[in-house]
Amino acid sequence: MYPIVKKRILAPGIKLLEVKAPDVARKAQAGQFIILRIDEPGERIPLTIADFNREEGTITTIFQEVGYTTWHLGQLEEGDALLDFVGPLGRPTEIENYGRVVCVGGGVGVAPIYPIARALKEAGNEVISIIGARSRELLILEEEMRKVSHELLVSTDDGSYGHKGFVTDLLVRVLQEKKVDRVWGIGPVVMMKAVSEATRPFGVPTIVSMNPIMVDGTGMCGACRVSVGGETKFGCVDGPEFDGHQVDWDLAVQRLRMYRDEEARAQAFHQEKRGGCQCR
């Protein structure tokens, strides 16, 4: 069992869990993910690593409650334990000194961008970070991101904080003003697509972190197929990071919808069992 040592509610529906998993923490690097299972009937879900502490032997994950499993995860408290927790999976981010880099995080995607920005800064890059959310109350890790960036820009869709609009507005502005050597974009698929389209005319290499549906996470099942440059790749072992300019975004959006009906059914079934629907 893998005990939860810390829980924080970062924003409505966005929660942080720090989990004791020393073997995973020993090896975890920016860009990798873990797979967890809450209990015996539970499904295996991948979550990107938001932070790791090798001394304490812990891994931090940040997730948004979007379906039954993430909702259930959000109900757990410090002292509770997860049945399974495996990792670190996937290839780590290729960290080197590229020069000037931009790290773009949208929504809960700010969480995985954080250790990447930190590692890039430690490697000597000038790090400009752009983070965004639908509104101010949904914006996470602003202070943390500020610490690991030379410059931090913020946007909200509704204008309740920072620039009113999308992270890509700010990204284009940076690209117009400065020479940028590499861009990372992590967030919802539509946002990552927009980031890739924004950088394409500037010819700046752009890395995105795909979040396909997975089962084992070790290359065994092929559920996580992503089409990159016309070639089928497995998100779990070939990724999760890919060249954003080569990703087939429409396919990625489509494949995420595979179990939408089943997710609704599972949610209804289990939340009923737990005494009344608690969907927000």
Partner 1 sequence: MSMPVSTRKTPMPSQPPGERIRNFSEVALGYTEEMARQEAERCLQCKKAPCRQGCPVEIDIPAFIGRIKEGDFAGAIEKVKEKNNLPAICGRVCPQENQCEKYCTLAKKGEPVGIGRLERFVADYQLSQGEVEPPALATPTGFRVAVIGSGPAGLTAAADLARMGHQVTVFEALHVPGGVLMYGIPEFRLPKEIVQREIDYIRRLGVEIRTNSVVGKMVTVDELLESGFDAVFIGTGAGLPYFMGIPGENLLGVYSANEFLTRTNLMKAYLFPEYLTPIKVGRRVAVIGAGNVAMDAARTALRLGAEKSMIVYRRSAEEMPARKEEVEHAEEEGVEFHLLTSPVEIHGDEAGWVTGMTCIRYELGEPDASGRRRPVAIPGSEYRMEVDTVVIAIGQGPNPLVLQTTPGLELTKKGTIAADEETGATSREGVFAGGDIVTGAATVILAMGAGKKAARAIDAYLRQKGEKGNG
Give contact residues for partner 1 (rule: CB under 8 A). Answer: 23-24, 26-27, 37, 41-44, 68-69, 83-89, 215-216, 218-223, 225, 227, 232, 237, 251, 254-255, 257-259, 262-263, 265-266, 269-270
Helices (H), 76-212: 110-122, 142-147, 167-177, 189-199
For 247-260, b/e burial (b = at least 16 CB within 10 A) is bbbeebeebeeeee
What is the distance between the alpha carbons of residues 200 and 198, in angstroms, rounded to a whole number? Answer: 6
Closest to partner 1 by CB, 36 or 133: 36
Minimum Å gap between C-beta 190 and partner 1 is 16
Indicate the residue type of 270.
H
Closest to partner 1 by CB, 43 or 157: 43
Sequence-separated (6 or more) residues with CB below 8 Å from residue 11: 133, 137, 138, 139, 140
Minimum Å gap between C-beta 67 and partner 1 is 9
| Nearest of 187, 223, 224 to residue 207 by alpha carbon | 187
Minimum Å gap between C-beta 269 and partner 1 is 4
Minimum Å gap between C-beta 84 and partner 1 is 4
Minimum Å gap between C-beta 201 and partner 1 is 28
Closest to partner 1 by CB, 53 or 135: 53
Contact 216, 237 (CB under 8 A): no
- 275: which 2 tokens? 């005494």
Closest to partner 1 by CB, 41 or 201: 41
Minimum Å gap between C-beta 142 and partner 1 is 32
Helices (H), 7-67: 22-27
Minimum Å gap between C-beta 129 and partner 1 is 28
Distance, CA of 124 to chain centre: 23
Closest to partner 1 by CB, 177 or 261: 261
Closest to partner 1 by CB, 2 or 166: 2
Distance, CA of 147 to chain centre: 19
- 32: which 2 tokens? 């990798």
Distance, CA of 223 to chain centre: 18
What is the distance between the alpha carbons of residues 185 and 232, in angstroms, rounded to a whole number? Answer: 21
Closest to partner 1 by CB, 5 or 172: 5
